[in-house]
Structure 1
Amino acid sequence: MPSASLSVKGRISMINFNTMNLRQENNIRRRFIMKKAARFLVVILSMMFLWGCELALIGIGASVGVGTYKFIEGKLERPYPIELQKAWDATNTALTNLQISVSGSLLEGAKGNIEGVRKDGVTVYISLKDEGQKVTTIGVRVGTFGDRIEADLVHKEIAAAAGL
Structure 2
Amino acid sequence: MSGKMLQGGRWALIALGCAAVAMPLSGCVALLGAGAGGGAVAYVENGGIANYYAYYPVSLQQASAASQAALQQMGIAYNGNIRKTSNVELMEGTTRDGETVKITFTSMSTQVTKVNVRVGTFGDKAISLQFQKTLSQHLGMAASAVAPASTAPGEAAAPPAQAQQQTIPLQ
TM-score per shorter chain, which class?
0.5 to 0.7
Instruction: Tell me, yes or no, if structure 1 residue 112 matches structure 2 residue 69.
Output: no
Instruction: Tell me, yes or no, if structure 1 residue 129 matches structure 2 residue 106.
Output: yes
1:66–1:79 Cα contact (<8 Å) kept? no
Q: Which has the higher strand share?
A: 2
- Residue ranges of structure 1 left out of the alignment (5+ in a row): 1-51, 59-64
Superposed CA deviations along residues 48-83 of structure 1, whole A, max 9, x for unmatched, are xxxx8xxx999xxxxxx9424232331101111111
Instruction: Tell me, yes or no, if structure 1 residue 141 matches structure 2 residue 114.
Output: no
Q: Which residue, 55, 62, 77 being the options, matches 2:53?
A: 77
- Residue ranges of structure 2 left out of the alignment (5+ in a row): 1-28, 142-171
Name segments (4+ residues, structure 1) moved above 6 Å.
Answer: none
Q: How does 1:1-164 map to 2 (within 5 A)?
A: 66-72=39-45, 73-107=49-83, 108-164=85-141
Distance 1:106 1:75 in 2: 19
Higher relative contact order (CA 8 A, sep 6+): 2
1:98 CA displacement = 0.9
CA RMSD of aligned residues (A): 2.3
Q: SS of the counterpart of 1:69?
A: strand
Distance 1:57 1:99 in 2: 25
1:115–1:124 Cα contact (<8 Å) kept? yes
Q: Which has the higher helix share?
A: 1
Distance 2:62 2:100 in 1: 23
Superposed CA deviations along residues 108-151 of structure 1, whole A, max 9, x for unmatched, are 42111111101111111110000115110000101111112210
Q: How many residues get paired? A: 104
The TM-score, its normalising length taken from structure 2, stands at 0.55
Counterpart in 1 of 2:144? none
Distance 2:115 2:52 in 1: 8
Counterpart in 2 of 1:33? none
Distance 1:80 1:103 in 2: 23
> Percent sequence identity over matched residues?
30
Counterpart in 2 of 1:36? none
Distance 1:68 1:126, change over 3 A: closer
Counterpart in 1 of 2:169? none
Distance 2:119 2:128 in 1: 6
